[in-house]
């Protein structure tokens, strides 16, 4: 079992765990090693945990975003992401096709940001 933290996730299921928008927030560590190890283990489970919001420059933002900015480094690609957990619930992305992942992730977002995330789907 692998339990890792994350800084942000986009609606495709890509995870940023050490840097967002070109800014390093933590060491590169072994995030992907733990994810890969759990994926390869018999009955392995991968949990990626994050708060649904963060405060940046005194402003509350969603950590679940429509898509990452071009300078955001992806720590864990979408095909390695299984369970995503926020204070609003958990979802197993492995059982969902790519077309259903965004809606499932939106339900994990803070309620104040869900409408904006849903609106972003119209532009995909």
Name all domains of the chain by residue range, CATH numbers in brackets: 2-121 (3.40.1080.20)
Euclidean distance between CA atoms 40 and 34, whole angstroms: 10
- H-helix or E-strand spanning residue 40: helix 31-40
Euclidean distance between CA atoms 85 and 119, whole angstroms: 22
* Amino acid 22: pLDDT: 62
* Amino acid 31: pLDDT: 72
* pLDDT band, residue 29 (cuts 50/70/90): low
Q: What are phi and psi of 101, to 5 degrees?
A: -60, -45
Placement of tokens 């992401």 in the chain = 81
CB 101, CB 93: distance < 8 Å: yes
What is the arithmetic mean of pLDDT over 71-89?
92
* Amino acid 71: pLDDT: 80
What is the arithmetic mean of pLDDT over 55-66?
92
CB 10, CB 67: distance < 8 Å: yes
* pLDDT band, residue 115 (cuts 50/70/90): very high
* Amino acid 14: pLDDT: 94
Predicted structure pTM score: 0.89
Euclidean distance between CA atoms 54 and 19, whole angstroms: 14
């Amino acid at each position: 079992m692998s339990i890792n933290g994350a800084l942000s996730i986009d609606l495709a299921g890509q995870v940023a765990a050490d840097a967002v928008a070109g800014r390093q927030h933590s060491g590169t560590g072994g995030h992907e090693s733990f994810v890969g190890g759990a994926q390869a283990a018999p009955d392995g489970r991968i949990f990626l945990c994050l708060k649904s919001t963060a405060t940046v420059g005194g402003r509350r933002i969603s950590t679940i975003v429509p898509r990452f900015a071009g300078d955001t480094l992806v720590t864990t690609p979408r095909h390695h992401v299984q369970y995503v957990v926020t204070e609003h619930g958990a979802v197993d992305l492995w059982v969902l096709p790519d077309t259903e992942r965004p809606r499932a992730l939106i339900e994990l977002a803070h309620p104040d940001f869900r409408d904006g995330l849903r609106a972003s789907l119209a532009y995909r």
